[in-house]
Amino acid sequence: MDVLINIFLALHIVGIAALLGGFFAQMKAMGAGEARMTPGMLHGALTMLVTGLALVGLNQADDQEVDNVKIAVKLAVLLVILVLVYIRRDDEEGVPAPLFGAVGALTVANIFIATLWT
Protein backbone atom coordinates (compact mmCIF):
# COMPACT_ATOMS: atom_id res chain seq x y z
CA MET A 1 0.00 0.00 0.00
CA ASP A 2 2.88 2.38 0.83
CA VAL A 3 4.23 2.00 -2.70
CA LEU A 4 0.82 2.78 -4.18
CA ILE A 5 0.44 5.87 -1.97
CA ASN A 6 3.90 7.07 -2.99
CA ILE A 7 3.12 6.49 -6.68
CA PHE A 8 0.01 8.67 -6.38
CA LEU A 9 2.02 11.26 -4.42
CA ALA A 10 4.53 11.33 -7.29
CA LEU A 11 1.69 11.78 -9.81
CA HIS A 12 0.29 14.52 -7.54
CA ILE A 13 3.63 16.32 -7.89
CA VAL A 14 3.63 15.76 -11.68
CA GLY A 15 0.25 17.54 -11.67
CA ILE A 16 1.73 20.52 -9.78
CA ALA A 17 4.58 20.65 -12.32
CA ALA A 18 2.16 20.77 -15.26
CA LEU A 19 -0.04 23.44 -13.68
CA LEU A 20 2.68 25.66 -12.24
CA GLY A 21 5.04 25.10 -15.19
CA GLY A 22 2.35 26.39 -17.54
CA PHE A 23 2.05 29.46 -15.34
CA PHE A 24 5.77 30.19 -15.00
CA ALA A 25 6.41 29.69 -18.72
CA GLN A 26 3.99 32.52 -19.47
CA MET A 27 4.87 35.11 -16.88
CA LYS A 28 6.25 37.44 -19.56
CA ALA A 29 3.11 37.01 -21.67
CA MET A 30 1.05 37.63 -18.53
CA GLY A 31 2.54 41.11 -18.22
CA ALA A 32 1.29 41.87 -21.73
CA GLY A 33 -2.14 40.36 -21.01
CA GLU A 34 -1.45 37.62 -23.55
CA ALA A 35 -1.07 34.59 -21.29
CA ARG A 36 -3.32 31.64 -22.10
CA MET A 37 -4.87 28.92 -19.98
CA THR A 38 -3.07 26.11 -21.83
CA PRO A 39 -4.25 22.48 -22.07
CA GLY A 40 -1.27 21.43 -19.91
CA MET A 41 -2.49 23.68 -17.10
CA LEU A 42 -6.01 22.25 -17.31
CA HIS A 43 -4.68 18.69 -17.34
CA GLY A 44 -2.36 19.49 -14.45
CA ALA A 45 -5.26 20.84 -12.39
CA LEU A 46 -7.37 17.77 -13.22
CA THR A 47 -4.43 15.53 -12.28
CA MET A 48 -4.27 17.29 -8.89
CA LEU A 49 -7.95 16.57 -8.32
CA VAL A 50 -7.85 12.89 -9.33
CA THR A 51 -4.58 12.05 -7.55
CA GLY A 52 -5.58 14.09 -4.47
CA LEU A 53 -8.87 12.22 -4.11
CA ALA A 54 -7.03 8.91 -4.67
CA LEU A 55 -4.50 9.85 -1.96
CA VAL A 56 -7.32 10.53 0.50
CA GLY A 57 -8.91 7.15 -0.26
CA LEU A 58 -5.63 5.23 -0.16
CA ASN A 59 -4.54 6.84 3.12
CA GLN A 60 -7.90 6.07 4.72
CA ALA A 61 -7.88 2.51 3.42
CA ASP A 62 -4.40 2.17 4.96
CA ASP A 63 -5.68 3.50 8.33
CA GLN A 64 -3.46 6.56 8.03
CA GLU A 65 -4.83 9.80 9.35
CA VAL A 66 -5.87 12.46 6.83
CA ASP A 67 -6.43 16.03 7.98
CA ASN A 68 -9.92 16.62 6.61
CA VAL A 69 -9.93 20.38 7.20
CA LYS A 70 -6.62 20.80 5.38
CA ILE A 71 -7.85 18.63 2.50
CA ALA A 72 -11.13 20.57 2.33
CA VAL A 73 -9.23 23.87 2.08
CA LYS A 74 -6.92 22.46 -0.61
CA LEU A 75 -9.91 21.09 -2.50
CA ALA A 76 -11.74 24.44 -2.34
CA VAL A 77 -8.66 26.30 -3.62
CA LEU A 78 -8.15 23.77 -6.41
CA LEU A 79 -11.81 24.03 -7.48
CA VAL A 80 -11.40 27.80 -7.89
CA ILE A 81 -8.25 27.17 -9.97
CA LEU A 82 -10.08 24.58 -12.08
CA VAL A 83 -13.03 26.87 -12.77
CA LEU A 84 -10.73 29.78 -13.76
CA VAL A 85 -8.64 27.60 -16.08
CA TYR A 86 -11.64 25.78 -17.54
CA ILE A 87 -13.83 28.77 -18.39
CA ARG A 88 -10.97 30.62 -20.15
CA ARG A 89 -9.33 27.58 -21.78
CA ASP A 90 -10.34 28.58 -25.31
CA ASP A 91 -9.43 32.23 -24.98
CA GLU A 92 -6.85 32.60 -27.74
CA GLU A 93 -6.36 36.33 -27.27
CA GLY A 94 -5.06 35.81 -23.77
CA VAL A 95 -6.57 36.37 -20.35
CA PRO A 96 -6.19 39.46 -18.13
CA ALA A 97 -3.05 39.43 -15.97
CA PRO A 98 -4.90 39.43 -12.60
CA LEU A 99 -6.91 36.37 -13.63
CA PHE A 100 -3.85 34.48 -14.84
CA GLY A 101 -1.85 35.63 -11.81
CA ALA A 102 -4.59 34.32 -9.51
CA VAL A 103 -4.08 30.80 -10.89
CA GLY A 104 -0.35 30.92 -10.12
CA ALA A 105 -0.86 32.49 -6.69
CA LEU A 106 -3.55 29.98 -5.68
CA THR A 107 -1.40 27.06 -6.84
CA VAL A 108 1.58 28.31 -4.81
CA ALA A 109 -0.77 28.92 -1.85
CA ASN A 110 -1.90 25.30 -2.04
CA ILE A 111 1.72 24.09 -2.01
CA PHE A 112 2.33 26.06 1.20
CA ILE A 113 -0.92 24.80 2.72
CA ALA A 114 0.17 21.22 1.87
CA THR A 115 3.62 21.61 3.37
CA LEU A 116 3.20 24.07 6.28
CA TRP A 117 -0.20 22.96 7.66
CA THR A 118 0.74 20.27 10.15
Q: Which residues of this chain interact with ligand HEM, rule CB under 6 A?
A: 12, 16, 48-49, 52-53, 55-56, 59, 66, 71, 74-75, 78, 81, 107, 110-111, 114-115
Looking at the Cβ atoms of 12 and 89, the one nearer to ligand HEM is: 12
Long-range contacts of 96-104 (CB under 8 A, 24+ apart): 96/33, 97/30, 97/31, 97/33, 97/35, 100/23, 100/26, 100/30, 100/35, 100/37, 101/30, 103/19, 103/23, 103/37, 103/41, 104/20, 104/23, 104/24, 104/27
Residues 87, 3: Cα–Cα separation, whole Å:
36
**Taking the complex as a whole, how short is the minimal distance between the CB of residue 32 and ligand HEM, in angstroms?**
25
**Closer residue to ligand HEM (CB): 34 or 113:** 113
Nearer to ligand HEM, 32 or 60 (CB): 60
Q: How far is the CB of 104 from ligand HEM (least distance, A)?
A: 11
Q: How far is the CB of 47 from ligand HEM (least distance, A)?
A: 10
Q: Which amino acid would we find at residue 69? A: V
For residues 59 and 97, which CB has a smaller minimum distance to ligand HEM in the complex? 59
